[in-house]
Amino acid sequence: MQPAPECRHLQPAGASFYAEGEWMEADEAYGEAATALQVNDLQMALRRPALDLIIACWLNQAQCQLQLRAWAKAEKLCDGVLQREPRHAKALYRRGAALMRQGETRRARADLRAAYRAAPTDRGVRQLLDECERTVRKEAQQERAYTSRMFAAPPETAIAEPPDGGARGDAGGAGGLGGAAAAGGSWRRTAHRTLVAPWGRVGSLLVSYPALTQAVVLLGVVVVAPLALSAAALAAFSYFV
């Protein structure tokens, strides 16, 4: 028994459309060929060759979808390949490309690293992996900068000193006001160092240690939130009673 004779003309047609850049027509031809090959009564000896052809069709379809900028469809086709061949370098590479275009840079990096391990001499894989690594590093820097700005202390307001003449001319008036202003400025600087500045260090610490951030969030959910709810319920009960 031969595997699905009706699909024999579809693969050459798909290749012809593909060579001419007719991506939609090529995708349709490869899809029909893959569907025709998926029959349940193949002899055992023919199942592996049929699967290889199906995988080839899906990968060609994925490339067509990349050319059509249909990133999600390309990802789904590669998923089908990787469910059957988890280390298939070309499927990992094309899914990584689709994920990058969808902004999933960290998932893309994982796929591209796996593709590079499977095909370390492939220049296309190496180039796309390098691009992805640069993008991930840039995004991480932007995230750190954003978090630092969130926790950064506001600039201290300069305290205007009174003119020398005013201070000397009226020791009981301008001099007293100057002393009060200086004392106020000193108090604000002390409050800033005590209450605001530590949050900048906390923000940097949380950015540097993601696991610590997760632990803090979990502590807030498990401990702080129930206590706050209990306090609110008690206050409401006391109000009505």
**What is the average pLDDT across 8-34?**
83
Return the pLDDT at 47.
75
**Residue 155 resides in a domain:** no
How many CB atoms lie under 10 A from the CB of residue 82?
A: 17
Residue-wise pLDDT tens digits, 48-89: 788 888 999 999 999 999 999 999 999 999 999 999 999 999
Does 119 lie in the same domain as 13?
A: yes
**Residue 186 resides in a domain:** yes
Does 137 lie in the same domain as 39?
A: yes
Number of domains the chain is built from: 3
What the block records as the tokens of 136 is 């991930």
Please name the amino acid found at residue 163.
P
**What is the average pLDDT across 155-169?**
51
**Residue 154 resides in a domain:** no
The label of the residue with tokens 């994925």 reads 62
**What is the average pLDDT across 14-34?**
89
Residues 6+ apart with CB under 8 A from 94: 59, 62, 63, 66, 74, 78
How many CB atoms lie under 10 A from the CB of residue 4?
A: 19
Return the pLDDT at 174.
46
Of residues 72 and 14, which shows the higher confidence score?
Answer: 72
| Distance (Å, whole) CA 97 – CA 85 | 18
Query: Can you give the residue range of the structural domain that contains 99?
Result: 5-149
Return the pLDDT at 173.
46
SS3 at position 214: helix
Is 70 exceeded by the pLDDT of residue 178?
no
Does 131 lie in the same domain as 203?
A: no
Give the chain's mean pLDDT: 75
CB-CB contact of 114 with 87 (8 Å):
yes
CB-CB contact of 29 with 14 (8 Å):
yes
Does 194 lie in the same domain as 85?
A: no
Which among 30-44, 48-62, 207-221, 223-237 has the top mean pLDDT? 48-62
| Distance (Å, whole) CA 18 – CA 197 | 61
